[in-house]
Chain A
Amino acid sequence: MSVKPRMKLDKKQAKKGDLVEVKALVAHIMETGQRRDGAGNVVPRKILNKFVCTVNGKEVFSADFEPAISANPYIQFKFKAQESGTVILTWIDDDGSKIVGQDSITVA
Protein backbone atom coordinates (compact mmCIF):
# COMPACT_ATOMS: atom_id res chain seq x y z
CA MET A 1 0.00 0.00 0.00
CA SER A 2 1.60 3.15 -1.12
CA VAL A 3 -0.24 5.79 0.83
CA LYS A 4 1.55 9.10 0.91
CA PRO A 5 1.17 10.90 4.20
CA ARG A 6 0.72 14.65 4.34
CA MET A 7 3.24 16.25 6.64
CA LYS A 8 4.35 19.76 7.40
CA LEU A 9 7.06 21.26 9.58
CA ASP A 10 6.23 24.75 10.79
CA LYS A 11 9.75 25.86 9.88
CA LYS A 12 12.30 24.44 7.49
CA GLN A 13 15.14 26.45 9.01
CA ALA A 14 15.57 26.68 12.73
CA LYS A 15 18.05 27.87 15.28
CA LYS A 16 19.53 25.28 17.59
CA GLY A 17 17.13 24.76 20.48
CA ASP A 18 14.07 26.04 18.63
CA LEU A 19 10.88 24.05 18.86
CA VAL A 20 9.75 22.67 15.52
CA GLU A 21 6.11 21.73 15.18
CA VAL A 22 5.20 18.73 13.03
CA LYS A 23 1.70 18.17 11.69
CA ALA A 24 0.91 14.98 9.84
CA LEU A 25 -2.17 13.36 8.39
CA VAL A 26 -2.40 9.97 6.76
CA ALA A 27 -5.34 8.39 4.94
CA HIS A 28 -6.30 5.19 6.73
CA ILE A 29 -9.61 3.55 7.59
CA MET A 30 -8.60 2.79 11.23
CA GLU A 31 -11.14 -0.05 11.48
CA THR A 32 -11.93 -0.50 15.18
CA GLY A 33 -12.80 -4.18 15.26
CA GLN A 34 -16.05 -3.22 17.01
CA ARG A 35 -18.28 -2.72 13.99
CA ARG A 36 -20.41 -5.37 12.35
CA ASP A 37 -21.10 -5.66 8.65
CA GLY A 38 -24.54 -6.21 7.10
CA ALA A 39 -24.45 -9.93 7.82
CA GLY A 40 -23.70 -9.35 11.51
CA ASN A 41 -20.06 -10.41 11.34
CA VAL A 42 -17.46 -8.37 13.18
CA VAL A 43 -15.33 -6.36 10.78
CA PRO A 44 -11.73 -7.30 11.70
CA ARG A 45 -9.57 -4.66 13.32
CA LYS A 46 -7.12 -2.85 11.07
CA ILE A 47 -5.45 0.23 12.47
CA LEU A 48 -2.11 1.97 12.45
CA ASN A 49 -0.95 0.97 15.92
CA LYS A 50 2.39 2.72 16.13
CA PHE A 51 3.83 6.05 15.09
CA VAL A 52 7.48 7.07 15.34
CA CYS A 53 9.28 10.29 14.43
CA THR A 54 13.04 10.24 14.07
CA VAL A 55 15.43 13.09 13.30
CA ASN A 56 18.72 11.86 11.86
CA GLY A 57 17.82 8.40 13.11
CA LYS A 58 17.22 9.54 16.69
CA GLU A 59 13.73 9.06 18.04
CA VAL A 60 12.19 12.33 19.23
CA PHE A 61 8.57 11.31 19.61
CA SER A 62 6.49 8.16 19.31
CA ALA A 63 2.94 7.09 20.02
CA ASP A 64 0.95 3.89 20.40
CA PHE A 65 -2.47 4.16 18.83
CA GLU A 66 -5.57 2.25 19.91
CA PRO A 67 -8.80 1.80 17.92
CA ALA A 68 -10.14 4.99 19.57
CA ILE A 69 -8.00 7.10 17.22
CA SER A 70 -10.14 8.58 14.44
CA ALA A 71 -10.00 7.46 10.83
CA ASN A 72 -7.36 9.30 8.78
CA PRO A 73 -5.26 9.80 11.91
CA TYR A 74 -3.89 13.25 12.52
CA ILE A 75 -0.94 13.86 14.80
CA GLN A 76 0.74 17.06 15.88
CA PHE A 77 3.75 17.35 18.16
CA LYS A 78 6.97 19.27 18.60
CA PHE A 79 10.64 18.51 18.80
CA LYS A 80 13.71 20.49 19.71
CA ALA A 81 15.95 21.36 16.77
CA GLN A 82 19.47 20.04 17.43
CA GLU A 83 21.09 19.48 14.05
CA SER A 84 20.27 19.58 10.37
CA GLY A 85 18.99 16.36 8.95
CA THR A 86 16.14 14.21 7.83
CA VAL A 87 12.85 14.00 9.65
CA ILE A 88 11.22 10.63 9.10
CA LEU A 89 7.71 9.74 10.18
CA THR A 90 6.71 6.08 10.23
CA TRP A 91 3.30 4.57 10.83
CA ILE A 92 3.04 0.82 11.38
CA ASP A 93 -0.11 -1.01 10.35
CA ASP A 94 -1.64 -4.01 12.16
CA ASP A 95 -0.65 -6.11 9.13
CA GLY A 96 2.99 -5.03 9.50
CA SER A 97 3.11 -2.71 6.51
CA LYS A 98 4.57 0.74 6.94
CA ILE A 99 3.67 4.22 5.79
CA VAL A 100 6.65 6.54 5.68
CA GLY A 101 6.91 10.29 5.26
CA GLN A 102 10.11 12.28 4.96
CA ASP A 103 11.19 15.89 5.18
CA SER A 104 14.37 17.75 6.01
CA ILE A 105 15.33 20.49 8.41
CA THR A 106 18.24 22.92 8.44
CA VAL A 107 19.53 23.99 11.82
CA ALA A 108 21.76 27.03 11.92
Chain B
Amino acid sequence: MTMFNRRQALVVGAGAAAMAAFGASTGTAFAANDSEEQIKKFTGGKTAAQGRIKLDLPEIAENGNTVPMTVTVESPMTEQSYVASVLILADGNPRAGVATFHFSPASGVAEANTRIRLASTQNIVAVAKMNDGSFFTASKQVKVTIGGCGG
Protein backbone atom coordinates (compact mmCIF):
# COMPACT_ATOMS: atom_id res chain seq x y z
CA MET B 1 0.00 0.00 0.00
CA THR B 2 2.75 2.34 0.89
CA MET B 3 4.60 1.42 -2.36
CA PHE B 4 1.52 2.16 -4.40
CA ASN B 5 1.14 5.52 -2.82
CA ARG B 6 4.72 6.40 -3.47
CA ARG B 7 4.48 5.38 -7.13
CA GLN B 8 1.32 7.31 -7.50
CA ALA B 9 3.00 10.30 -6.01
CA LEU B 10 5.92 9.90 -8.43
CA VAL B 11 3.61 9.66 -11.43
CA VAL B 12 1.68 12.69 -10.35
CA GLY B 13 4.91 14.52 -9.68
CA ALA B 14 6.36 13.71 -13.10
CA GLY B 15 3.12 14.73 -14.78
CA ALA B 16 3.09 18.01 -12.97
CA ALA B 17 6.71 18.66 -13.90
CA ALA B 18 5.96 17.90 -17.54
CA MET B 19 2.95 20.18 -17.47
CA ALA B 20 5.02 22.94 -15.95
CA ALA B 21 7.74 22.55 -18.56
CA PHE B 22 5.21 22.49 -21.39
CA GLY B 23 3.40 25.50 -20.01
CA ALA B 24 6.63 27.43 -19.66
CA SER B 25 7.83 26.61 -23.16
CA THR B 26 4.56 27.57 -24.85
CA GLY B 27 4.45 30.64 -22.64
CA THR B 28 7.79 31.95 -23.83
CA ALA B 29 7.06 31.00 -27.44
CA PHE B 30 3.92 33.09 -27.29
CA ALA B 31 5.41 36.05 -25.48
CA ALA B 32 8.63 36.41 -27.44
CA ASN B 33 8.39 37.51 -31.03
CA ASP B 34 9.49 34.77 -33.42
CA SER B 35 10.99 37.03 -36.10
CA GLU B 36 14.47 35.50 -35.95
CA GLU B 37 13.15 31.96 -36.22
CA GLN B 38 10.93 33.00 -39.12
CA ILE B 39 13.93 34.46 -40.96
CA LYS B 40 15.95 31.28 -40.32
CA LYS B 41 13.09 29.17 -41.60
CA PHE B 42 12.77 31.33 -44.72
CA THR B 43 16.49 31.48 -45.57
CA GLY B 44 17.29 27.95 -44.41
CA GLY B 45 20.08 29.31 -42.21
CA LYS B 46 21.79 31.32 -44.96
CA THR B 47 22.78 34.89 -44.20
CA ALA B 48 21.02 37.60 -46.15
CA ALA B 49 23.04 40.47 -47.62
CA GLN B 50 21.95 44.05 -47.06
CA GLY B 51 20.50 45.99 -49.94
CA ARG B 52 18.45 45.75 -53.14
CA ILE B 53 15.21 46.12 -51.19
CA LYS B 54 13.36 49.37 -50.75
CA LEU B 55 10.85 49.47 -47.91
CA ASP B 56 8.52 52.41 -48.16
CA LEU B 57 6.78 53.09 -44.86
CA PRO B 58 5.89 56.28 -43.01
CA GLU B 59 8.41 57.50 -40.39
CA ILE B 60 5.58 58.02 -37.94
CA ALA B 61 2.30 56.11 -38.08
CA GLU B 62 -0.45 57.79 -36.11
CA ASN B 63 -2.74 54.79 -36.33
CA GLY B 64 -1.10 51.38 -36.08
CA ASN B 65 -4.23 49.70 -37.38
CA THR B 66 -3.49 50.52 -40.97
CA VAL B 67 0.02 51.49 -42.02
CA PRO B 68 0.69 51.64 -45.78
CA MET B 69 3.72 49.65 -46.82
CA THR B 70 5.38 49.28 -50.20
CA VAL B 71 8.21 46.86 -50.81
CA THR B 72 10.28 46.99 -53.99
CA VAL B 73 13.17 44.68 -54.85
CA GLU B 74 15.68 45.59 -57.53
CA SER B 75 15.80 42.83 -60.11
CA PRO B 76 15.65 42.45 -63.89
CA MET B 77 12.80 39.93 -63.37
CA THR B 78 13.79 37.71 -66.29
CA GLU B 79 13.74 33.92 -66.47
CA GLN B 80 17.45 33.97 -65.58
CA SER B 81 17.24 36.31 -62.62
CA TYR B 82 14.14 37.16 -60.64
CA VAL B 83 12.82 37.61 -57.13
CA ALA B 84 10.99 34.48 -56.01
CA SER B 85 9.46 35.67 -52.75
CA VAL B 86 9.67 38.40 -50.16
CA LEU B 87 8.99 37.82 -46.48
CA ILE B 88 7.82 40.78 -44.40
CA LEU B 89 8.18 40.66 -40.61
CA ALA B 90 7.37 43.07 -37.81
CA ASP B 91 9.71 42.50 -34.86
CA GLY B 92 7.51 44.18 -32.25
CA ASN B 93 4.14 42.59 -32.98
CA PRO B 94 2.79 39.72 -30.87
CA ARG B 95 3.54 37.53 -33.89
CA ALA B 96 6.25 38.48 -36.33
CA GLY B 97 4.66 37.37 -39.59
CA VAL B 98 3.08 40.06 -41.75
CA ALA B 99 2.99 38.70 -45.28
CA THR B 100 4.92 36.79 -47.91
CA PHE B 101 4.75 37.94 -51.51
CA HIS B 102 5.47 35.50 -54.33
CA PHE B 103 6.73 36.84 -57.63
CA SER B 104 7.70 35.31 -60.95
CA PRO B 105 9.11 36.61 -64.23
CA ALA B 106 5.46 37.21 -65.21
CA SER B 107 5.26 39.83 -62.47
CA GLY B 108 7.52 42.12 -64.49
CA VAL B 109 8.57 43.98 -61.37
CA ALA B 110 8.97 42.86 -57.76
CA GLU B 111 6.78 45.43 -56.10
CA ALA B 112 3.79 45.13 -53.80
CA ASN B 113 1.83 47.45 -51.58
CA THR B 114 -0.54 46.63 -48.74
CA ARG B 115 -1.66 47.99 -45.38
CA ILE B 116 -0.42 46.43 -42.19
CA ARG B 117 -1.07 46.46 -38.44
CA LEU B 118 1.66 47.49 -36.02
CA ALA B 119 1.31 47.06 -32.26
CA SER B 120 3.98 49.57 -31.29
CA THR B 121 7.09 51.37 -32.49
CA GLN B 122 9.24 48.72 -34.12
CA ASN B 123 11.31 47.60 -37.09
CA ILE B 124 9.84 46.17 -40.25
CA VAL B 125 12.13 43.60 -41.81
CA ALA B 126 11.98 42.40 -45.41
CA VAL B 127 13.88 39.36 -46.66
CA ALA B 128 13.93 38.66 -50.39
CA LYS B 129 14.68 35.29 -51.89
CA MET B 130 16.18 35.31 -55.39
CA ASN B 131 15.72 32.49 -57.86
CA ASP B 132 19.44 31.64 -57.57
CA GLY B 133 19.06 30.98 -53.83
CA SER B 134 20.64 34.18 -52.56
CA PHE B 135 18.94 36.39 -49.98
CA PHE B 136 18.76 40.11 -49.40
CA THR B 137 17.38 41.99 -46.45
CA ALA B 138 16.44 45.49 -45.37
CA SER B 139 14.65 46.98 -42.40
CA LYS B 140 13.01 50.21 -41.43
CA GLN B 141 11.79 51.61 -38.13
CA VAL B 142 8.27 52.96 -37.82
CA LYS B 143 7.16 55.02 -34.82
CA VAL B 144 3.61 54.12 -33.88
CA THR B 145 1.45 56.53 -31.89
CA ILE B 146 -1.59 54.30 -31.34
CA GLY B 147 -1.04 50.54 -31.51
CA GLY B 148 -3.09 48.43 -33.85
CA CYS B 149 -3.59 45.04 -32.24
CA GLY B 150 -6.71 45.84 -30.28
CA GLY B 151 -4.90 44.90 -27.04
The residues of A with any CB-CB pair to B shorter than 8 Å are 19, 32, 34-35, 55, 58-71, 73-80, 82
Contact = CB atoms under 8 A, between A and B. Distances in A.
A11 to B, nearest CB: 13
B13 interface: no
Interface string B112-151: 1111111000000000000000000000000000001111
B133 to A, nearest CB: 20
A63 B102 contact: yes
Contacts of A75: 112-114
A61 B65 contact: no
Contacts of B108: 19, 78-80
A interface, by DSSP: helix, strand, loop or mixed? strand
A34 B90 contact: no
Contacts of A32: 117, 149-150
Given A66-B98, A68-B98, A78-B111, 16 more contacts: A19-B108, A34-B149, A59-B104, A61-B103, A61-B107, A61-B112, A63-B102, A63-B112, A63-B114, A68-B99, A70-B116, A75-B113, A76-B113, A77-B101, A78-B107, A79-B107
Contacts of A78: 107-109, 111
Nearest to B112: A77
B94 A34 contact: yes
In this complex, which of A60, A65, A68 has the most chain B Cβ atoms within 10 angstroms of its Cβ? A68
A47 to B, nearest CB: 11
B54 interface: no
Given A71-B65, A77-B107, A66 B114 contact: no
Contact of B107 (A64, A74, A80): A80
A79 to B, nearest CB: 6
Contact of A64 (B100, B109, B148): B100
Contact of A34 (B103, B104, B150): B150
Interface string B49-81: 000000000000000011100100000010000
Contacts of B94: 34
Given A60-B104, A71-B65, A19 B115 contact: no
A15 B91 CA distance: 42
Contact of B114 (A55, A59, A74): A74
B145 to A, nearest CB: 16
Nearest to B116: A68
